[in-house]
Each structure stands twice: as structure tokens, then as C-alpha cells.
């Protein structure tokens, strides 16, 4: 059985994150400069999943304590690490992190033709709510999903409060 460990990304992960992005996405990649900024940003949580010493995946979630909405900016799983539960584990951590900052809703976008990701998002309780034409640099459409943060996730945060979205 494969042991997947999660940790907060560090500055020394920069090259690995850039390489992972290039191995997973044909376009619309996070640039090296943007990765550097995300790793330093107090409103971005970059999490890596490792299997042994290898980075198998990562997520970037944008958190803002002034809003009840968190955004999953990116999720990437190395091709050789797929179908091992890496994405699921990363998304579980994203949902808890969002709850800890007071978010009640998690949003994300995915390509209309990324059916594998869409199946996972739906399985985890995300609902599609908007289509965005020509969202990606190659002109592909995006589907925007959202998921309410569950009561269990909300109560896991230090100062539990009810969530009301306008």
C-alpha cells in the first residue's frame, strides 16, 4: 500500500512544482514567478502530496478571511500517481483549510473535457453552476463547480460559526 503524506509547500519545492505543472497541463500553467508569489502569499495555501521523496501532487487554494468563498486555484497529480487517492486526499485538506478560515463555500473551474476531474468533484459533493466559454488559452470552455463546506468541516475550525452566503 502506498503511503501518501501531505505537507505545506516550501520555497525549495519551486522547481518541482513548476515541473509538475508542465507534466500535467498542456497549457494554462502557473508560471515560475507566480509559483514563487503563491508560496509567499499569506492568502494562498499550497499543499504537496508526497509518496516517499517524490512529489505526487499539489493544490493551491486561495483563501480570504473577508469572504465566505474559497477558491481551488489549481490541483495537479503526477500522471504516475493517479488513481491512488492523491487528489481525494488533497481535496479533503483543501476543504478543511477553507473551513478553518471561515469559508462556507469552495469554488473551482475545470475544463469541459476533463471528465475524470469532473467525476471526482461530483463524487465529493461539488455541483456545476456555470459554464464559461473560451476560459482557457486554447479557447476551451470551463465548468465552474462549487461545494458547501459541511457542518463537520465547519465545526473543525477553531471559532465555529454559522455560514450565510448572500
**pLDDT tens digits along 34-84:** 999 999 999 999 999 998 888 999 999 998 878 889 999 999 999 888 888
Domain spans of the chain, in order of start: 4-155
Q: What is the DSSP letter of 104?
A: S
pLDDT at 161: 40
Which residue from 59, 64, 25 is spatially nearest to 39, judged by alpha carbons?
59
pLDDT at 153: 56
User: For 5-19, 69-83, 103-117, 140-154, which range has the lowest pLDDT when averaged over its residues?
Assistant: 140-154
Regarding beta strands 127-132 and 105-111, do their DSSP bridges make them parallel or antiparallel, or are they unpaired? Answer: unpaired
pTM of the complete model beyond 0.75: yes
> What average pLDDT does this structure show over 146-157?
68
User: Taken in order 14, 8, 91, 61, is the CA torsion positive or negative?
Assistant: negative
Which residue from 32, 41, 26 is spatially nearest to 13, judged by alpha carbons?
32
Q: Which three cell numbers stand for residue 128?
A: 456545476
Query: Residue 72 in contact with residue 107, Cβ under 8 Å?
Result: yes
pLDDT confidence tier of residue 165, bands split at 50, 70 and 90 = very low
Query: Residue 61 in contact with residue 73, Cβ under 8 Å?
Result: yes
In this predicted structure, the answer to whether residue 159 has a pLDDT above a threshold of 50 is: no
Task: Give domain 4-155's CATH number out of 3.40.50.620, 3.40.630.30, 3.30.70.3270, 1.20.58.1180.
Answer: 3.40.630.30
Amino acid at each position: 500500500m502506498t503511503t501518501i503524506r501531505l505537507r505545506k509547500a516550501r520555497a525549495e519545492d519551486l522547481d518541482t512544482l513548476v515541473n509538475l505543472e508542465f507534466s500535467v497541463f498542456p497549457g494554462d500553467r502557473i508560471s515560475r514567478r507566480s509559483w514563487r508569489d503563491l508560496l509567499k502569499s499569506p492568502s494562498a495555501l499550497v499543499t504537496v502530496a508526497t509518496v516517499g521523496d517524490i512529489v505526487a501532487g499539489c493544490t493551491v487554494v486561495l483563501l480570504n478571511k473577508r469572504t465566505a468563498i474559497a477558491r481551488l486555484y489549481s490541483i495537479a497529480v503526477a500522471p504516475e500517481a493517479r488513481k491512488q487517492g492523491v487528489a481525494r486526499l488533497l481535496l479533503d485538506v483543501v476543504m478543511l483549510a477553507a473551513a478553518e478560515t471561515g469559508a462556507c463555500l469552495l469554488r473551482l473551474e475545470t475544463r469541459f473535457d476533463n471528465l475524470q476531474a469532473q467525476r471526482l468533484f461530483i463524487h465529493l459533493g461539488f455541483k456545476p453552476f456555470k459554464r464559461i466559454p473560451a476560459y482557457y488559452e486554447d479557447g476551451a470552455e470551463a465548468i465552474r463547480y462549487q461545494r458547501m463546506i459541511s457542518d463537520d468541516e465547519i465545526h473543525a475550525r477553531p471559532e465555529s460559526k454559522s455560514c450565510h452566503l448572500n
